[in-house]
Amino acid sequence: MFIPKRIIFEKDILKYPMASEILNSFKDNKGIEIIHMTSNRFKEYIPGNDLYTQFREGKKTLVIDTKKSLKFQSCKPSAHYQLPLVTGCMGQCEYCYLNTNLGDKPFIRVHANLDEILNQTKLYIQGRIPETTIFEGAATSDPVPVEPYTHALESTIKFFSEQKYGKFRFVTKYNDIDGLVNIAHNGRTEVRFSINTANIIHQYENGTASCEKRIEAAIKMAEAGYPTGFLIAPIFIYPNWKEEYQELLNMVKSKLPKKMKYPLTFEIISHRYTSIAKNRILEVFPNTKLPMNNEERNYKYGQFGYGKYVYPKDDLNEIKAFFSNEIEKIFIDKEIKYII
Ligand code: SF4
């Protein structure tokens, strides 16, 4: 669970029950600074004159605000829309796309006007009937470490349990899901756990839950009948990578319940980066050992108009062959959604 160093409450936010409940949960904790904003400039309340410090202080800051624009962003190809519950993440994964995406605002924002957000979700669903509309709850965040006190996922899962034409999905590197295990989900929410080898987690995924804890949480969700899957990402090629990823897959297999309601899904994504991301990562993590040597990668133009450095074709083919063979061999009731 994310315990912030400071919590910043937007002006007039306490009229929302989520905001006042968060205040009640933390107000007696002397170690947490509580700030009630008088202006709308969050950044004024977060110390640091340079990106390195702002990033670290921002990652310890929780902002409670409202989602002003209820126009949802598209979220292709994994869903139709992003569902804006939370923005940002307490983790400090060195390769994280949020490092670029959230610029110099790495703080965690929780939107307290959840009822309005879910009403808007209903309108999006109704607009596409008879098609099913899929919403992604972790497009710009990891919503799980704040769940014990926001209950935003819980309310959203309950909302989707009654949506015949709507589905919800989210992905996490955390394990604070106990409040979600016993709620009525009606199979309308899919949960994926992002995992990697111990080596990669240790080197690059600072401040996240251990792989064992993520797998344990995945098993609890699968046993509770949720459609469950694993995102193995980013895949790195390094000495012993095949042995270590094989060990990871075997560990998942050894812990899986005998019978699952839905096939276990896999999404496999190899490591890639943009030039903007690389510059930003080097600024925030000057000692990073992330492999980002452009000479060793291929440059690939993406659908959003900017290119990425990806592994060369032979390496990608090796990754694809390795994961499809191993998953096929180890798991019975499974679906590989993609390997890229
Ligand atoms: Fe980014 Fe996910 Fe790591 Fe959070 S846990 S820093 S969202 S990669």
What is the model's pLDDT at position 274?
92
- CATH number of the domain bearing residue 120: 3.80.30.30
Which residue has the least CA distance to atom 1 on ligand 1?
96
Residue 161 lies in a domain: yes
Q: Are 14 and 8 in contact (CB under 8 A)?
A: no
Substitution candidate for ligand 1 out of 102, 208, 271 with most atoms within 8 A of CB:
208
The secondary structure of the chain in percent helix, strand, coil, rounded to multiples of 5, reads: 40, 20, 40
What domain range includes position 218?
A: 6-339
Task: Tell me the whole-structure pTM to 2 decimals.
Answer: 0.95
Give the pair of three-digit tokens for residue 133. 């509309």
Q: Are 73 and 139 in contact (CB under 8 A)?
A: yes
Block means of pLDDT (10 residues each) for the chain, length 340 residues?
A: 96 96 95 91 85 90 95 92 96 90 84 98 98 96 97 98 98 98 97 97 96 96 97 97 98 92 96 93 94 96 81 98 98 95
Residue 44 lies in a domain: yes
**Residue partners of 240: CB distance under 8 A and separation at least 6:** none
What is the model's pLDDT at position 106?
86
Distance 235 CA to ligand 1 centre (A): 15
Do you know the residue count of the chain?
A: 340
Q: Are 335 and 265 in contact (CB under 8 A)?
A: yes
Could you identify the residue written with the tokens 């139709």?
A: 80
Q: Which residues line ligand 1 (CB under 6 A)?
A: 89, 91-93, 96, 98, 142, 173, 205, 208
Substitution candidate for ligand 1 out of 96, 102, 204 with most atoms within 8 A of CB:
96
Atom of ligand 1 nearest to the CA of 173: 5
Collapse the DSSP code of 164 into the 3-class scheme (helix H, G, I; strand E, B; otherwise coil) and give the result.
coil
What is the model's pLDDT at position 39?
80
From CA 312, how far away is CA 299, in angstroms rounded?
9
Substitution candidate for ligand 1 out of 89, 195, 214 with most atoms within 8 A of CB:
89
Distance 101 CA to ligand 1 centre (A): 12
ω into residue 106 within 30 of 0, thus cis? no
**The dihedral formed by the CA atoms of 210, 185, 111 and 87, expressed in degrees to the nearest 10:** 40
Q: Are 35 and 6 in contact (CB under 8 A)?
A: yes
Q: Are 85 and 114 in contact (CB under 8 A)?
A: yes
The DSSP code sequence of 283-324 is HH-TT------GGGSEEEE-TTS-EEEE--HHHHHHHHHHHH
Number of domains in the chain: 1
Residue 295 lies in a domain: yes
- Backbone phi, then psi, for 324, in 5-degree steps? -65, -40
Distance 93 CA to ligand 1 centre (A): 5
What is the model's pLDDT at position 101?
78
Amino acid at 295: E
Residue 198 lies in a domain: yes
Residue 1 lies in a domain: no
What is the model's pLDDT at position 140?
92
